[in-house]
Structure 1
């Protein structure tokens, strides 16, 4: 860490340093949101592995009805995903999409509606202009 006397005395260089520090803070906030979303997904997976749902059987028969596994369900417009792409020049803007949006690129990560709503308040995270999750969430970001 530099002492105050190590900083340049002229405003243009101080402004450049300040702008760089602001960019670093912003980038780290976005990464922090992404890492928290990843941590939540790992915690959920761990809970599901440690406490699997008990199969409901009656006298050796599988209960009829109930829900199908996720992989058998058709996509719905009720879920949300976050998409963040990295390039050799740094990360591209992060987007929130509806889960079945056809504009998603790369590997999206599922998030809950409250997480999507919170993420969309970050100025570095954008709402997809094609599927408009902000509208579905009742946010007026347009």
Structure 2
């Protein structure tokens, strides 16, 4: 089954229509790419979660804010680095909050 018209004038019309549609799509793609590139990256934040422990010391977990386990006070980069240096604070095993902090601190 052929959905295209059989004569040349109508085929040219379809061709022109498709070219115009393609131009619109390409312009929309370019606009979206410019919009995406123009947005500054959101600053990374971390979360310090306090968990009462049955041992002598409480446990505090440092999470990335995007971690699904994160519950607690939000920290910026400097606060997160200070917290991670404290005894009793551990990086989350799920989101590995310490990896980005350590790599950016050594840079």
TM-score, normalised relative to structure 2: 0.48
